[in-house]
């Protein structure tokens, strides 16, 4: 049988790259991250806020931090004000 | 609408085709050699005796001492599954097989042909055949169709019209329908979440935080799932050569010679049309009723016997029992009929052609949907995940 190669393991819809993943973040009193996934934050390179799609059923309200961890890794973390949780993704 | 045909315990049913009486006894598919001793699908009688699929073999035998362990027959299962898909295709359905026992198709193209969704589903059930006890479900979304099929009775087709109906259908169903790891399922159970409706009612953020990406996907499925379309498989042709031995053979040298003879024969088949081979499967009928199957994807498409032999012949030592019949199948062919070695370094269109060729090879090895292209859609966005998309490349 010569079949369409690998027709059984499909996930063919376009997907997002760099999807945020839930992260364990310890925040300071001012809401800035002190550690991410148990790694200390060495420096916060940038901070910004996104409030968008407030007219839809999935509004965005996030406070972002571009941080460098003690492991040397550069990560973007954000606090999702809608979902009340911390998430991380590649910088 | 998206329709789903579901056959419970397909591998067990395929292995019991020669011994149908065992379907009426407590029986279970034995664990694969070298894997954790967990049972495969079980018969209804075994289930009534307290034996469950995924149970440890020792525990199952202690629960039901008369349990019959059925050897796996992957070659037969593959053959039956392919036959079943072809019968559905002969009925005019463009099918997308998910795993053995689960197949999806889009009803839109055949509704007029058969006079409605329900009639199309009944036609599909008839094409599968009553001996497999198939169940059918149809809904606007894939997961809801799977859920509908899972609650339908054998031979029955269940239609779920609107989104609210789908939510009502999903709410009381158990978490086992979701593609979650046992650990994650257990964690949800500990939190008191036992039904899809209970999971769907939780805030998305809380689920994602607890169970990460898998949890979020499961949460989405519990709410009906995404509207992913059905991608029908492309039809192929069958190029198989088989050699039956007068008596069971266990000698490796004999098996290697038989494999060489099969390879020569299959390479000479006119249907190949000189095309190079991407992927092959070697299977064997074992003495005692079981079967064995191994596949190999070549590093690059080839029709050179030495290369193919090097890829597949070493697998013969993995045979667990003497062989009654050896079978060689060309699973995937390339379009090329020759290869020009390079005099000058390739550039431009040639490099592009080779890249495409390499990607096709990766797809043959890992399956459709495994190759994607990163497309920047909004590189300036302050939302990192909105900057680029991964678009599947199945060309």
Query: Phi and psi dihedrals of B213, rounded to 5?
Result: -60, -40
How far from the centroid of its chain's Cα atoms is residue B248's Cα? 30
Provide, as residue numbers in chain A, all residues whose Cβ is less than 8 Å from the Cβ of B387.
Answer: 17-18
Q: What pLDDT shows up at residue B206?
A: 78
Q: What pLDDT shows up at residue A32?
A: 94
A43 touches A61 (CB < 8 A): no
- Residues lower than pLDDT 50 in chain A: 1-12
Q: Do B367 and A9 touch (CB under 8 A)?
A: yes
Q: Do B363 and A6 touch (CB under 8 A)?
A: yes
B333 touches B276 (CB < 8 A): yes
Query: Phi and psi dihedrals of B340, rounded to 5?
Result: -95, 120
Closest to B136 measured CA to CA, from B176, B171, B107, B167: B107
Q: What pLDDT shows up at residue A14?
A: 65
B135 touches B156 (CB < 8 A): yes
Q: What pLDDT shows up at residue A7?
A: 35
Q: What pLDDT shows up at residue A78?
A: 96
When scoring B2, B209, B226 by the number of chain A Cβ atoms within 10 A, the one with the most, hence best to mutate, is B209
Q: Do A17 and B368 touch (CB under 8 A)?
A: no
The ipTM is 0.83
DSSP strand pairing (B102-106 vs B388-392): unpaired
Provide, as residue numbers in chain B, all residues whose Cβ is less than 8 Å from the Cβ of A77.
Answer: none
| Cα distance between residue B389 and residue B372, in whole Å | 9
Mean pLDDT, 10 residues at a time, over chain B (395 residues)?
89 85 86 77 87 85 87 81 85 83 86 83 90 89 86 87 78 81 80 84 78 77 76 72 84 87 87 84 82 83 88 88 88 69 65 79 72 79 85 67
Nearest CA in chain A to B95: A7
A85 touches A78 (CB < 8 A): no
Structure tokens of A9?
A: 């393991």
Task: Report the predicted TM-score, pTM, of the whole model to 2 decimal places.
Answer: 0.56
**Alpha-carbon torsion (B208, B209, B214, B219), positive or negative:** negative
Q: Do B360 and A20 touch (CB under 8 A)?
A: no
Closest to A15 measured CA to CA, from B295, B226, B70, B203: B226
Q: Partners of B174 in the beta sheet?
A: B195
Q: Do B389 and A90 touch (CB under 8 A)?
A: no
Structure tokens of A76?
A: 């973007």
Q: What pLDDT shows up at residue B395?
A: 59
Q: How far is A70 from chain B (nearest CA, A)?
A: 22
Q: Do B234 and A3 touch (CB under 8 A)?
A: yes
Provide, as residue numbers in chain B, all residues whose Cβ is less than 8 Å from the Cβ of A12.
Answer: 228-229, 231, 368-369, 392, 394
Q: What pLDDT shows up at residue A1?
A: 38
Provide, as residue numbers in chain A, all residues whose Cβ is less than 8 Å from the Cβ of B88.
Answer: none
Q: Please name the member of A9, A80, A89 whose beta carbon is closest to the beta carbon of B205.
A: A80
């Amino acid at each position: 049988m010569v079949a369409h190669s690998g027709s059984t393991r499909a996930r063919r819809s376009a997907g997002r790259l760099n999807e945020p993943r839930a992260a364990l973040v310890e925040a300071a009193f001012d809401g800035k991250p002190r550690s991410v996934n148990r790694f200390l934050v060495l420096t916060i390179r940038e901070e910004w806020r996104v409030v968008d799609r407030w007219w839809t059923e999935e509004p965005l309200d996030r406070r972002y931090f571009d941080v460098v961890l003690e492991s040397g890794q550069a990560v973007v973390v954000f606090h999702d004000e809608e979902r009340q949780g911390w998430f991380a993704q590649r910088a | 609408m998206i329709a789903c045909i579901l056959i419970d315990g397909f591998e067990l049913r395929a292995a019991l085709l020669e011994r149908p009486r065992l379907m009426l006894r407590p029986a279970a598919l034995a664990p694969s050699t070298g894997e954790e001793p967990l049972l495969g699908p079980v018969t209804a009688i075994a289930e009534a005796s307290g034996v469950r699929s995924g149970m440890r073999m020792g525990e199952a035998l202690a629960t039901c001492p008369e349990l019959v362990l059925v050897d796996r027959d992957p070659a037969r299962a593959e053959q039956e599954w392919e036959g079943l898909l072809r019968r559905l295709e002969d009925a005019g359905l463009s099918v997308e097989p998910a795993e053995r026992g689960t197949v999806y198709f889009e009803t839109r193209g055949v509704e007029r042909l058969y006079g409605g969704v329900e009639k199309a589903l009944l036609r599909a059930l008839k094409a599968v055949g009553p001996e497999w006890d198939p169940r059918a479900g149809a809904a606007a979304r894939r997961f809801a169709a799977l859920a509908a099929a899972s609650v339908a009775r054998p031979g029955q087709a269940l239609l779920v019209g609107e989104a609210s109906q789908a939510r009502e259908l999903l709410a009381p169903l158990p978490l086992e329908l979701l593609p979650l790891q046992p650990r994650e399922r257990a964690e949800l159970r500990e939190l008191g979440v036992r039904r899809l409706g209970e999971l769907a009612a939780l805030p998305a953020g809380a689920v994602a935080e607890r169970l990460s990406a898998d949890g979020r996907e499961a949460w989405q499925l519990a709410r009906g799932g995404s509207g992913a379309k059905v991608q029908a498989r492309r039809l192929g042709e069958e190029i198989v050569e088989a050699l039956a031995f007068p008596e069971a053979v266990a000698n490796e040298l004999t098996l290697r010679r038989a494999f060489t003879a099969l390879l020569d024969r299959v390479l000479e088949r006119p249907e190949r049309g000189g095309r190079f081979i991407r992927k092959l499967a070697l299977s064997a009928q074992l003495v005692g009723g079981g079967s064995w199957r191994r596949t190999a994807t070549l590093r690059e498409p080839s029709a050179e016997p030495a290369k193919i032999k090097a890829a597949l012949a070493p697998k013969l030592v993995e045979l667990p029992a003497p062989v009654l019949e050896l079978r060689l199948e060309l699973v995937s062919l390339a379009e090329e009929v020759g290869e020009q070695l390079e005099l000058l370094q390739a550039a431009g269109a040639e490099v592009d052609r080779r890249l495409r060729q390499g990607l096709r090879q990766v797809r043959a090895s890992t399956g459709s949907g495994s190759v994607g292209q990163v497309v920047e859609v909004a590189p300036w966005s302050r939302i990192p995940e909105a900057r680029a998309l991964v678009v599947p490349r199945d060309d």
